[in-house]
Amino acid sequence: MDVGPRCSFVIFGITGDLAARKLVPALYALHIDGALHPQTAVVGFARSAPDDDEQLRERLGEALREHVDEVDDDAWNDLATRIVSVRGGYDEAGFERLRERLDALGHDDHVYYTSTPPEAYTPIVHGLAGVGLTRSERGFRRIVVEKPFGHDLDSAVELNAALAEVFDEDQIYRIDHYLAKETAQNLAVLRFANALFEPIWSNRYVDHVQISMIEPMGMEGRGSFYEEAGVVRDVFQNHLLQLLALVAMEPPARYDADAVRDEKVKVLRATDCLDPGDVVLGQYTAADGMAGYREEDGVAADSRVPTFAAAAFTVRTWRWAGVPFYVRAGKRLEGKASEIVLRLKQPPHQPFTELAAPPKADRLVLRLLPDEGIALRFNAKVPGQGIALDRVNLGFTYREGFEGRVPDAYETLLSDVITGDATLFMRADEVVAQWRVVAPLLAPPEVDPEPYPAGSMGPLSANTLLERDGRNWHKPGGV
Ligand code: BG6
């Protein structure tokens, strides 16, 4: 990893959950790896931030120990001495106070991270501009915008416009942590650094693609957020469409931020799901001692917000004509898995006429969770006389294939912001293209979503969506 420049890393919303769970652990891990400049300052800003730096350091230290297994006290204390607390609201007085602290630190380069509720994003942009913190002759000023980026197409366009009033596009880093998962990054390498895969990566050989994000958790205190978001805004508009784009995009001329994002935008603009029959929405109900969605804190007793969605997307390009992309995600499902499956077509001619049934089609599984890796499942001859076939696997996992720890997505992303690499961040036109793709899935529901028992594999109609095409979902977590 590159050691970035000496900078002030400002976290708006330092007292929130994301800062405790992801951002501070990521900064600590970068510090341990020697990937943070030793004079980097972390400036925590929040209405509820303590007045005293020492108190914030203690609080963040406690949170770090809760979320990271082994904390090296000396390393943490070293980083902690460079944590600064700024208590303030998102008003002029608050930003003045921030400016004074930043001036006193004297770093040329600043990163601003919006780890706040989305209502604060625009006030932060204006507040920073109001006190002259968005431009500098001497160093960079970069802003990281967390998801959700807007609530729908119009609000995303407005947020882009608010940012563009103050920042140039190359100062803006829109986060989608799925892009920094190793398997997501590896998609480009798998496709474009090997001669084996890209030749089959099209409608000539691929029958269909499945992208699944299966989560066992319920709301865990996020009920009121989820009432506004639902599964489509929470993970379809961003994580799942990003994976779709990485699978479906054309080879970029270079692996850099603009070339990669140009290709993703092109393919997203060619993607849609316009037929309501191609969408299944579901909501979990109480089962096995687990509460139903409507019983969760912060959720309306008659809520129609979907906690599960499955959809068949069409990618209208030469490469993908006739290849459906089935995408599904849900909460309170059986197991935890995020994966992409390419199901290949049958070979054009079948010489093994004595087999009782035709061989099964090959399957390439790209696993983001659990245990990131790749598996290819194909047919092999069973040893012995005559021809009998069985299924075998070729596979690799990061755990076995590479020594060392797989960095958390946030570590990669924070380091990229500091070093100025925007390849794993979304560009303005990309988020807009994503909102356009999911717009038909966001229409206010006229009926309740289909119920499914907590801990199951989701609503039955999700199976029908594939069965009608003579296909079925791959069992997540398997090969
Ligand atoms: C977040 C969603 O963006 O991603 C959550 O808001 C979801 O609802 C999470 O649980 C999943 O991330 P991961 O890395 O655990 O797959």
Q: Which of 239, 340, 372 to mutate to test the pocket of ligand 1 (most atoms within 8 A of CB)?
A: 239
Could you tell me how many residues make up the chain?
Answer: 479
Chain-wide mean pLDDT for the chain? Answer: 95
478 pLDDT exceeds 80?
Answer: no
Atom of ligand 1 nearest to the CA of 368: 16
- Nearest protein CA to atom 9 of ligand 1, as residue: 235
pLDDT in tens, 442-459: 988 889 999 999 999 999
> Region 105-117: what's the mean pLDDT?
97
Expressed in angstroms and rounded, the spacing between residue 358 Cα and the centre of ligand 1 is 39
Atom of ligand 1 nearest to the CA of 338: 16
SS3 of 211, please? Answer: strand
pLDDT in tens, 307-322: 999 999 999 999 999 9
Neighbours of 16 (CB within 10 A): 16
Atom of ligand 1 nearest to the CA of 238: 3
Mean pLDDT is lowest, of 2-6, 44-48, 126-130, 395-399, for 2-6
1 pLDDT exceeds 70?
Answer: no
Expressed in angstroms and rounded, the spacing between residue 347 Cα and the centre of ligand 1 is 38
In the chain, DSSP finds a helix count (H) and a strand count (E) of 15, 16
Expressed in angstroms and rounded, the spacing between residue 226 Cα and the centre of ligand 1 is 12
Which residues belong to the active site? 239
CA-based torsion, 450, 452, 454, 457: positive or negative: negative
Candidates 474, 431, 404; CA nearest to 214 is 474
Contact 112, 134 (CB under 8 A): no
Region of 131 (left: φ > 0; alpha: ψ -120 to 50; beta: rest) is alpha
Expressed in angstroms and rounded, the spacing between residue 136 Cα and the centre of ligand 1 is 35
- Nearest protein CA to atom 13 of ligand 1, as residue: 178
Expressed in angstroms and rounded, the spacing between residue 248 Cα and the centre of ligand 1 is 22
Query: Tokens 């005293």, residue?
Result: 52
Higher pLDDT residue, 269 or 443? Answer: 269
479 pLDDT exceeds 70?
Answer: no
Joined together, the tokens standing for residue 20 give 């405790």
Q: Which of 18, 149, 177 to mutate to test the pocket of ligand 1 (most atoms within 8 A of CB)?
A: 177
β-strands 389-397, 172-174: how paired?
unpaired
> What pLDDT sits at residue 358?
87
pTM of the predicted model, to two decimals?
0.95
- Separation between Cα atoms, residue 87 and residue 45, nearest integer Å: 6
- Nearest protein CA to atom 10 of ligand 1, as residue: 215
Contact 443, 449 (CB under 8 A): no
Contact 458, 452 (CB under 8 A): yes
- Separation between Cα atoms, residue 340 and residue 310, nearest integer Å: 14
> What pLDDT sits at residue 443?
86
Atom of ligand 1 nearest to the CA of 178: 14
Q: Which of 22, 146, 176, 234 to mutate to test the pocket of ligand 1 (most atoms within 8 A of CB)?
A: 234
Which residues lie with the beta carbon below 6 Å from any ligand 1 atom? 215, 234-235, 338, 369
- Nearest protein CA to atom 8 of ligand 1, as residue: 234
pLDDT in tens, 75-105: 999 999 999 999 999 999 999 999 999 999 9
pLDDT in tens, 377-398: 999 999 999 999 999 999 999 8
What CA dihedral angle connects 432, 145, 15 and 420, to 10 degrees? 150
CA angle 50, 51, 56 (to 5 degrees): 40
> What pLDDT sits at residue 273?
86
Expressed in angstroms and rounded, the spacing between residue 174 Cα and the centre of ligand 1 is 16
- Nearest protein CA to atom 4 of ligand 1, as residue: 235
β-strands 308-315, 363-369: how paired?
unpaired
- Nearest protein CA to atom 14 of ligand 1, as residue: 178
Local confidence band at 275 (pLDDT 50, 70, 90 cut-offs): confident
Expressed in angstroms and rounded, the spacing between residue 282 Cα and the centre of ligand 1 is 18
Atom of ligand 1 nearest to the CA of 181: 14
> Region 36-64: what's the mean pLDDT?
97
User: What residue spans of 7-152 are helical by DSSP H?
Assistant: 17-18, 24-32, 53-67, 73-80, 92-105, 121-130
> What pLDDT sits at residue 445?
82
Task: Give how far Cα 364 sits from Cα of 2, 380, 394, 401, 422, Å.
Answer: 33, 15, 10, 18, 29
Strands across the sheet containing 109-114: 83-87, 41-46, 7-12, 109-114, 141-145, 172-174
Backbone dihedral angles phi then psi of residue 304, each to the nearest 5 degrees: -110, 15
- Separation between Cα atoms, residue 171 and residue 144, nearest integer Å: 9
> What pLDDT sits at residue 477?
72
Contact 9, 37 (CB under 8 A): no
- Separation between Cα atoms, residue 157 and residue 433, nearest integer Å: 10
**CA end-to-end distance (rounded Å), the chain:** 32
- Separation between Cα atoms, residue 118 and residue 145, nearest integer Å: 9
Atom of ligand 1 nearest to the CA of 217: 10
Local confidence band at 467 (pLDDT 50, 70, 90 cut-offs): very high
Joined together, the tokens standing for residue 395 give 């596979």
Could you tell me which residues come within 8 angstroms of residue 452 by beta carbon, excluding any fewer than 6 positions away? 282, 283, 284, 285, 308, 330, 458, 459, 460
Atom of ligand 1 nearest to the CA of 215: 10
Tell me the one-letter amino acid at 391.
Answer: R
> What pLDDT sits at residue 82?
97
> What pLDDT sits at residue 406?
85
Expressed in angstroms and rounded, the spacing between residue 209 Cα and the centre of ligand 1 is 21
- Nearest protein CA to atom 6 of ligand 1, as residue: 234
pLDDT in tens, 397-453: 988 889 877 899 999 999 999 999 999 999 999 999 999 999 999 988 889 999 999
Joined together, the tokens standing for residue 406 give 């797989």
Q: Which of 215, 217, 406, 426 to mutate to test the pocket of ligand 1 (most atoms within 8 A of CB)?
A: 215
32 pLDDT exceeds 90?
Answer: yes
Q: What letter does residue 89 receive in the DSSP assignment?
A: -
> What pLDDT sits at residue 102?
98
Element (H, E) at 242: helix 241-248
Expressed in angstroms and rounded, the spacing between residue 18 Cα and the centre of ligand 1 is 11
250 pLDDT exceeds 80?
Answer: yes
- Separation between Cα atoms, residue 272 and residue 258, nearest integer Å: 23
Q: What letter does residue 297 receive in the DSSP assignment?
A: T
Joined together, the tokens standing for residue 128 give 């920073």
Angle between helices 53-67 and 24-32 (to 10 degrees): 80
> What pLDDT sits at residue 310?
97
> What pLDDT sits at residue 405?
79
